[in-house]
Amino acid sequence: MLQVQPLLVIRNSVLFPHMVVPITAGRDRSIAAVEAALEGDRTLVVVTQRDLSLEEPGQDDLYNIGTRVTIQKATRGQNGFQVVLQGVERVRLVKLEPGKPYLQARIQPMPIQEDNSPAVEALHRSVLDLSGELLSLLGQTQRQGAQALLDQLTSQLTDPMQLAYYIAGFMKLDIEKEQQVLEASSRLEALELIHRFLAHELEVQQVRQRISSQVQSEMGKEQKDYLLRQQMRAIQNELGEDDSEKAEIEMLREKLDEAQLPEDARKEADRELKRLERLNPASPDHSLTRGYLELLAELPWQKNTDDNHDLKRARAILDEDHFGLKTVKERILEHLAVMKLNSGAKAPIVLLVGPPGVGKTSLGQSIARALERKFERLSLGGLHDEAELRGHRRTYIGALPGRLIQAVRRAGVKNPVLMLDEVDKIGSSYRGDPASALLEVIDPAQNDKFRDNYLDLPFDLSKALFILTANTTDSIPRPLLDRMEVIRLSGYSEEEKLQIARRYLLPRVLKEAGIGTEQVQVDDPTLGFVVARYTREAGVRELERTLAKLVRKLALRFAEGDPDEIIDLKADQVSELLGPERYQPESARQEKHPGVATGLAWTEVGGDVLYVESLPLPGGTGLTLTGQLGDVMKESAQAALSYVQSKARNYGLTERTFRNEGIHVHVPAGAIPKDGPSAGVTMAVSLLSAYTGVPARKDLAMTGEITLTGLVLPVGGIKEKVLAARRLGIHTIILPCENEKDLRELPDNVRAEMEFHPVAHLDDVFAIALPDLERRGLSIVQSLAS
């Protein structure tokens, strides 16, 4: 039968049957409900609201299952009623009844059927066991109150449901979990819920206690170590024994005295020494401060090496270590001569630019050997963090000095040769721009007071000789490039590579393999065969690896056979040992097709031959460019087409030809990006050849930038381009007049073999590259006269 009772809504807890709980009724409806119950049979229905923020919840905002209670005690105060409630039984909220100043609820009792099965009995006992384990982990104050409750549960409360409700109330679970226990439909379900909640809480308390014990153990060990250390120090003082810590500090003080620190560095060192004496040796700051003082003591504040200014000796060392590079060696000797005449002059900042493997790094080592200075190399390739150069501030964990200060520390002198390798491959990121940090490092006006973040003191780097290397200057910021003296190293010719292999590489790889130079005889044709058929590079790294592979094959032969055998190596034996030839002899295109012209290009690994193909498109329009061309190269093609169109009548072409036909220009090797202005003359010759149908000379290659008026402007990389043409058997070169001076960089034998045509205007280029125009009645002389 349904009953109607006053309804008291609570927020932060669930009231269970059989429990006695004090509650404050402060809301108007709650006060009115308590008053109505006191006027009647002192009975209320208590339910919990779902949303704690609501002041006047409706039926949908309340849980459906609550508890019928009786008021044991009620006291009226300023803020409402203080009541003591005792739970009687579970009820289900059927419907709220309106019409009163308080909430009334039509309820239905929900008794739980008795169940004395073995499963209930087992869960009952297990819950009691878990409760005991949980109590053993609680604090002393909590343990006393909880133990009294447990004694009451085990002795007085034999009903499993009463046990479940009391434990749920004692654990102060979340409202949702407490409501689950209240809504359980059977004793088994209620005990299972309580068992699960108890097991989880027990695990949490065990982890907390384990963490707390570990922390206390660590703290106890540190305190114990500190006390023992203090006691040991007191005993040593009583016995008059040396204090090792004091001895080490005194030793550090002596090193600082010997280092002859500048005044500001000495003040900082004294301050840190006093701090070190006060620090506990077990403190992390102790090791940091000591490391900083050791750095101050080991830096060469006043130490220098005396330079050897014997230029004859320096020239001999450069010639001994490097073959060729005549111009580069002269530039280096010029700098050394200035340093000899003016010892107080600022050290030059030299940037060696050239393809990989041409000897940039070894040149730096040779300079250091010639000057009898210490040499340190720093690789900057892929560097993204400015702190790698300037160091980290000592406030950071694991802070270290920058690479520059570390290099000077390793060198032990303040005037070493510092080689900053691969400066063109420096990156930048959110950590800073290392290239910008280099501006201070290599500027003689600033680096005499270089301040490392870790050192935090000015250090003089102006006496160091900085040598930087790069493969190209394109990626080097302009402000950084302006501070350096650029010396360019070109690629080697095949003759130079043969001599380098003969003098340096072959003896080196034979020595590394443990083979005497007299045991392996290699003549020049065989070495030339290795150079031409197994390598293709501007430098000699691949050549050295190939020779090393060849020598390892011979080493295996010596190890398995007669170790005293003498081998006279020939080209056919090289093919057997190294396998099929990697490169076949290059040759220029033999077919004479209209629209094909031979150009020359420069890359980071040397020169290359570039063919430009043009094809008229009847019915097409405009200029089509393919071959992965960059913006500069596209503009060169457009300029070449405009010039050819402007001179169309001079070569027997009509405006209708350009109006009714498009033109397609393609540069083969389409997978390789290409850019630069030096293909301008080649594109102009290709376009004119395509429109007139006159093939260009196949024995000729050309390079040069053009303007809309037909002027031919100078370009770079002449030596590499000429060597690339020579490899293909092309011995006639068209180049800008202003590049004629660059021919002096070529070896004498190469200049003697080649025929050069310096030109100043495109018409001169057409006259040389398209001689058949005259035989077809299209006289270049007549076009110039007009």
For residue 176, which of 14, 67, 9 has the smallest C-alpha distance?
Answer: 14
Contacts of 289 (CB under 8 A, 6+ apart): 272, 275, 276, 279
Identify whether the C-beta of residue 51 lies closer than 8 Å to the C-beta of residue 57: yes
Contacts of 760 (CB under 8 A, 6+ apart): 711, 712, 736, 737
Token pair for residue 92?
A: 């289900």
| Residue 67 to residue 74: CA distance in whole angstroms | 18
Indicate the helix (H) or strand (E) that contains 740: none
Token pair for residue 401?
A: 């000095």
Q: Is 721 a catalytic residue?
A: yes
Q: Which region, left, alpha or beta, applies to residue 422 given φ > 0 means left and ψ of -120 to 50 means alpha?
A: left
Identify whether the C-beta of residue 719 lies closer than 8 Å to the C-beta of residue 746: yes
Q: Which residue type, as a one-letter code, is found at position 194?
A: I
Of residues 678, 686, 689, 719, which has the active-site annotation?
Answer: 678
Identify whether the C-beta of residue 19 lies closer than 8 Å to the C-beta of residue 165: yes
Per-residue exposure over 534-548, b if at least 16 CB sit within 10 Å of its own CB, e if not: bbebbbbebbbebbb
| Residue 183 to residue 193: CA distance in whole angstroms | 11
SS3 770: coil
Q: Which residue type, as a one-letter code, is found at position 149?
A: L
Q: Is 678 a catalytic residue?
A: yes
| Residue 686 to residue 697: CA distance in whole angstroms | 11
For residue 316, which of 517, 359, 308, 506 has the smallest C-alpha distance?
Answer: 308
Contacts of 507 (CB under 8 A, 6+ apart): 517
SS3 723: helix
Radius of gyration of the chain, Cα coordinates, nearest whole angstrom = 46
Catalytic residues: 678, 721
